[in-house]
């Protein structure tokens, strides 16, 4: 399966040193050479600090980045990565980082996605009114190995802050400029300022490699991956269909062969706790 990609150049659309997490893995396992186009400006696709809004959802944004890298280099294989931060979908008070790493192969008409949903993130913001509060926030989010952003109200005073001196200067300036004499502190989520996020990008890259390794049983094309799920796993006590996944469809991108199988992570029947009849 690596034959499809071996000895090819994979352009990586990034300017935040994500190649540190992505390139060694792809080069070792796919036999590609990862190249970052010089002066590729991904900030045009949206920034975490909000100066530029994202044009679309996470996957679409990654696609746009990959396509721009293909256009600017004339290559046929591209990688793009995109992160988003917010409340965990199942645990409302836990912050989480959802990372995707996308591979687009124009030569073979393939698009394969790797994903990582991680609650291991320092993503956080706080408004502070004193240097002591700022120091406490910084200590809690892993500063200085993790960078910070300081704002006066909405205006960015400094970002990519990684020393106590820079932080002190920025906080003092923000408190001076702010109409409320406060500074707003945020974790800088750009990969090069956030080793924890870099780790999540590495995990998403591993997942991408797993997805590539799943080949179509009919034609051998990589990326034989999940396209759809059906609920209805029967209750273990009374057999009533529950909302848990009953079947997962995997489909080939080239020959349209598909397979409907039980979800690998699901038991064969649902716990009665999930049953609308046993536990309404």
* C-alpha pair distances (Å), 128 with each of 95, 144, 194: 20, 18, 22
Query: Does 257 sit near Zn ion (CB under 5 A)?
Result: yes
Query: Does 40 sit near Zn ion (CB under 5 A)?
Result: no
Least Å distance between CB 212 and Zn ion?
A: 14
Name the residue nearer to Zn ion (CB basis): 199 or 222: 222
What number of chain residues touch Zn ion (CB under 5 A)? Answer: 16
Name the residue nearer to Zn ion (CB basis): 138 or 216: 216
What x/- string results for residues 209 through 248 when contact with Zn ion is judged by CB under 5 A?
Answer: -------x-xx-x-------------x-xx-x--------
Query: Does 1 sit near Zn ion (CB under 5 A)?
Result: no
Name the residue nearer to Zn ion (CB basis): 211 or 235: 235
How long a stretch of residues is the chain? 280
**Cis ω for the linkage preceding 144 (within 30 of 0):** yes
Least Å distance between CB 222 and Zn ion?
A: 10
- Give the binding range for Zn ion (CB under 5 A) out of 26-34, 51-59, 68-76, 252-260: 252-260
Calpha distance 54→51 (Å, rounded):
10
Calpha distance 167→217 (Å, rounded):
56
Name the residue nearer to Zn ion (CB basis): 180 or 277: 277
Least Å distance between CB 41 and Zn ion?
A: 37
Least Å distance between CB 219 and Zn ion?
A: 3
Decide if 62 contacts 81 (C-beta within 8 A): yes
Name the residue nearer to Zn ion (CB basis): 161 or 216: 216
Buried b (16+ CB within 10 A) or exposed e, 21-52: bbbebbeebbebebbbbeebebeebbbbeeee
Name the residue nearer to Zn ion (CB basis): 171 or 216: 216
Calpha distance 255→244 (Å, rounded):
29
Query: Does 85 sit near Zn ion (CB under 5 A)?
Result: no
Calpha distance 126→136 (Å, rounded):
11
Name the residue nearer to Zn ion (CB basis): 103 or 216: 216
Calpha distance 88→94 (Å, rounded):
6
Least Å distance between CB 180 and Zn ion?
A: 55
Least Å distance between CB 232 and Zn ion?
A: 13
Query: Does 108 sit near Zn ion (CB under 5 A)?
Result: no
Token pair listed for 106 = 């124009």
Least Å distance between CB 106 and Zn ion?
A: 18
Strand blocks (E) in the chain: 9-13, 33-35, 77-87, 95-105, 110-118, 125-128, 148-152, 155-161, 183-187, 225-231, 245-251, 258-261
Least Å distance between CB 259 and Zn ion?
A: 11
Q: Which of 263, 261, 264 is nearest to 217 (CA)?
A: 261
CB count within 10 Å of CB 6 equals 10
Name the residue nearer to Zn ion (CB basis): 140 or 238: 238
Which chain residues interact with Zn ion by CB under 5 A?
Answer: 216, 218-219, 221, 235, 237-238, 240, 252, 254-255, 257, 272, 275, 277-278
């Amino acid at each position: 399966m690596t034959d499809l990609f071996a000895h090819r150049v994979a352009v990586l659309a990034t300017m935040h040193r994500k190649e540190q997490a992505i390139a060694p893995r792809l080069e070792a396992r796919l036999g590609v050479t990862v190249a970052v186009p010089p002066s590729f400006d991904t900030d045009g696709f949206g920034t975490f600090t909000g100066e530029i809004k994202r044009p679309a959802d996470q996957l679409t944004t990654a696609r746009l980045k990959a396509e721009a890298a293909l256009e600017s280099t004339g290559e046929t294989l591209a990688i793009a990565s995109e992160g988003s931060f917010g409340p965990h979908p199942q645990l409302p008070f836990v912050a989480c980082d959802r990372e995707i790493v996308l591979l687009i192969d124009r030569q073979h008409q393939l698009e394969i996605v790797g994903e990582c949903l991680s609650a291991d993130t320092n993503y956080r913001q706080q408004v502070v009114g004193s240097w002591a509060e700022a120091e406490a926030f910084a200590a809690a989010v892993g500063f200085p190995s993790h960078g910070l952003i300081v704002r006066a109200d909405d205006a960015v005073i400094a970002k990519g802050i990684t020393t106590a001196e820079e932080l002190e200067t920025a906080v003092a300036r923000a408190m001076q400029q702010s109409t409320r004499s406060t500074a707003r502190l945020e974790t800088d989520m750009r990969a090069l300022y956030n080793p924890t996020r870099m780790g999540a990008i590495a995990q998403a890259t591993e997942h991408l490699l797993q997805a590539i390794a799943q080949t179509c049983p009919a034609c051998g094309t990589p990326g034989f991956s999940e396209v759809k799920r059906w609920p209805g796993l029967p209750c273990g006590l009374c057999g009533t269909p529950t909302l848990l996944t009953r079947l997962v469809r995997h489909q080939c991108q080239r020959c349209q062969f598909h397979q409907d199988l039980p979800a690998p992570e699901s038991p064969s029947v649902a716990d009665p706790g999930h049953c609308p009849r046993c536990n309404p």
